[in-house]
Structure 1
Amino acid sequence: MNITRRFALTASAAAFALPALARAEDVPVARSPGGAILGEGPLWSAADNTVYWVDIRGKKLNALRLADNSAQSWDMPDLIDWIVLRKSGGFLVAILRTVHALTLEPFTLTPLFTIEADKTDNRLNDAKVDAKGRLWTGTMHMPFSQKTAALYRVDADLSVHQADAPYLCTNGPAFSRDGSRMYHNETSEGLVYAFDVAPDGSLSGKRVFTKFADGVGLPDGLTTDADDGIWVAHYNGGRISRYTPDGKLDFDVMIPAKQVTSMTFAGAGLDRLFVTSAAQPPVDADDPHAGTLWEVPKALLRGHKGLPTNAFAG
């Protein structure tokens, strides 16, 4: 399905009733109610002092303003896959297979381009912007059975370039501090890849960075820190892991939800870490906090801080 007309939707400014923030030094804190069907793609906006994240299957964009812990959500016209900042103002969001420009005040969506328009079983899945303002996004096969997906680079002129294929379910990406290395997942096979990134954005040297062992879930969202550590969310593993640049596991942080999907550093010092989770059926009875946005206590971060959020140059 191609989205070819402009949407001008009224934002459903439903404030969340946030739970009490009873902090403990060693336990992640719930920063939203549970129940997001597929909470994903957290994004830190320093200009707004806000963490944004999506509920893909719930068709919602959510926001948590750190200044006062107030929250808001907006209904979207279809599956919202991700959100990134745009240098010219506002955001880019992916809705199914089409990338839109988004403004929140007033709330408007303007379609820009479509990726894999002919692959109706695929949708866009996860995205990041590199330090040169290029957008990197992948696709996934929604029935989760065929390797028909790919990784793409979108340049500032909105030209779309296939960077790697095939995939069943792309996740990530994330970049080293100097931008010379990219990390990217094939979730279905438990693989995290590393690539070398040339100045023109071409990729080379694809190799396995790490492979998840049985019983710890599947690699989902990624982020990197200022010390070049690589953080990976474990879907159905109830944790996030930090790896050193040579692929060694540094440490795990357990999250009180099984379907852990992604994370972002946030705050003025980039020293706060927010983690998304999902409540996709079936949800186990012993997973009552599925679909919650979590904040990891600073003590569990071991002094690590994040990198600034990049904005798309186009």
Structure 2
Amino acid sequence: MASVRTYADLEVAVRSETSDVGEGPVFDPRTGHLLWVDIYGRKVFEDDLSTGRQTVRDVGTMVGAVAPRAAHDGFAVAVAEGFGYVTDSGLTLVDPVLPEPNLRMNDGKVDSRGRFWAGSNDMEFAPGQGRLHRWDGDGPSVVVADGLVLPNGLGWNAEDTVLYLADSYANLLYRADFHAEPGELGRLEVLTKTEGVGVPDGLAVDAEGCFWVAMHGAREVRRYDPTGRVVGLVPVPVLQPTSCAFGADGRLYITSARNGLSAEELAKSPLSGSVFVVETGTAGVPVHPFRA
């Protein structure tokens, strides 16, 4: 049995004592800044890690994911009601695909062709209500997979032939064949179950074919190989790591949450809600800006 490597040199990248559910980290190629969101706090954060300067934009509604734009200022976002854009002037909702108050968009990411993919879920996490959406920017979004619970982290391998997807409250990690040009998926196949080690949350894919998954409730990020075998562990000093993203330097940035923690749990994990960083010795598959 192959050994599991532990990545232990973790540091605090952005300290936060107020972020409720930090999520969706991604680097903006226009500025080099780290973008991330607070879902329930309804905010988009932009951090210049070289200076420590942080810009906060209040979206005014729950926001699951943010992405830099290729041809315009501001950001594309997946919010409770659907997809839209955020600028310094606020939110413009463009694709109100989820008018139902019991549904919301969750985590998301942009593919190699500049299309925005994001999961949606029932607020009470009703089984079968989760969907995976694709928004191309020039029309309404489309549903590319359904029958899920809480579709969460997603990403593509370096060859752009496989999509990985976490369904959190089903405790499942999926893979699917990916057809990049039309933006279509093959059948979602269960890669592994994660019961007993927290729930799989956000993820990032590396250039060596592995993917890193934040295990919410388990104080760790796990590195999986393409067969679903655990090959690496990143211990984190908080109970609820939520997602991760690679920087240009190959370091992995990890968001976290403080939502639902008691005063006693917060006393044991005072950095909950902060962003952490760890050396990995590898590089991430490039994450692209939204094309519209």
Q: Same fold (TM over 0.5)?
A: yes
* Corresponding position: 1:203 with 2:185: yes
148-157 or 134-143, which deviates more: 148-157
Question: How many angstroms does 1:160 deviate by?
Answer: 1.6
Matched residue, 1:308 = 286
Identical aligned residues as a percent: 30
Question: How many angstroms does 1:221 deviate by?
Answer: 0.2
- Of 248, 260, 269, which residue of structure 2 is paired with 1:281? 260
- Of 210, 230, 239, which residue of structure 2 is paired with 1:258? 239
Instruction: State the distance in 1 between where 2:212 and 2:161 align.
Output: 17
What is the 5 A alignment of 1:73-152? 73-89=56-72, 90-104=74-88, 107-117=89-99, 119-152=100-133
Instruction: State the distance in 1 between where 2:46 and 2:17 align.
Output: 14
Q: Residue 80 of structure 1 contacts residue 94 of structure 1 at CA under 8 Å; is this kept in 2?
A: yes
Structure 2 counterpart SS, 1:312? coil
User: Tell me, which stretches of 5 or more residues in structure 1 are unaligned?
Assistant: 1-24
Matched residue, 2:149 = 168
Q: Residue 147 of structure 1 contacts residue 168 of structure 1 at CA under 8 Å; is this kept in 2?
A: yes
Structure 1 counterpart SS, 2:195? coil
Instruction: State the distance in 2 between where 1:236 and 1:188 align.
Output: 12
Structure 1 counterpart SS, 2:131? strand
Normalised to the residue count of structure 1, the TM-score between the two structures is: 0.84
Matched residue, 1:11 = none
Q: Residue 157 of structure 2 contacts residue 285 of structure 2 at CA under 8 Å; is this kept in 1?
A: no
Matched residue, 1:246 = 227
User: Tell me, which stretches of 5 or more residues in structure 2 are unaligned?
Assistant: 1-7
Structure 1 counterpart SS, 2:159? coil
287-296 or 150-159, which deviates more: 150-159
Structure 2 counterpart SS, 1:311? coil
Q: Which amino acid aligns with 2:27?
A: W
Question: How many angstroms does 1:146 deviate by?
Answer: 4.0
Q: Residue 42 of structure 1 contacts residue 263 of structure 1 at CA under 8 Å; is this kept in 2?
A: yes
Instruction: State the distance in 2 between where 1:202 and 1:26 align.
Output: 39
Q: Residue 78 of structure 2 contacts residue 108 of structure 2 at CA under 8 Å; is this kept in 1?
A: no
Q: Residue 43 of structure 1 contacts residue 52 of structure 1 at CA under 8 Å; is this kept in 2?
A: yes
Instruction: State the distance in 1 between where 2:60 and 2:29 align.
Output: 27
Instruction: State the distance in 1 between where 2:10 and 2:116 align.
Output: 34
Q: Residue 62 of structure 1 contacts residue 74 of structure 1 at CA under 8 Å; is this kept in 2?
A: yes
Instruction: State the distance in 1 between where 2:102 and 2:221 align.
Output: 29
Question: How many angstroms does 1:112 deviate by?
Answer: 0.8
Instruction: State the distance in 2 between where 1:57 and 1:156 align.
Output: 25
Question: How many angstroms does 1:136 deviate by?
Answer: 0.8
Instruction: State the distance in 2 between where 1:75 and 1:160 align.
Output: 24
Structure 2 counterpart SS, 1:57? coil
* Corresponding position: 1:191 with 2:172: yes
Q: Deviations over 1:56-111 (max 9, x none)?
A: 1112211210221222222221212210122222310123113222223xx34222
Q: Which amino acid aligns with 1:293?
A: V
Matched residue, 1:36 = 19
Q: How many residues align?
A: 281
Q: Which amino acid aligns with 1:310?
A: H
Question: How many angstroms does 1:309 deviate by?
Answer: 2.3
Structure 2 counterpart SS, 1:28? strand
Instruction: State the distance in 2 between where 1:203 and 1:308 align.
Output: 20
Q: Which amino acid aligns with 2:218?
A: G
Q: Which amino acid aligns with 1:311?
A: P
Normalised to the residue count of structure 2, the TM-score between the two structures is: 0.90
224-233 or 95-104, which deviates more: 95-104
Matched residue, 2:5 = none
Q: Deviations over 1:257-301 (max 9, x none)?
A: 11110011114x3x12211000011332422221111112x2xx1
Instruction: State the distance in 1 between where 2:187 and 2:132 align.
Output: 15
Instruction: State the distance in 1 between where 2:82 and 2:190 align.
Output: 30
Matched residue, 1:68 = 51
Question: How many angstroms does 1:191 deviate by?
Answer: 0.2
Could you say what the CA RMSD is over the residues aligned between the two structures, in angstroms? 1.8
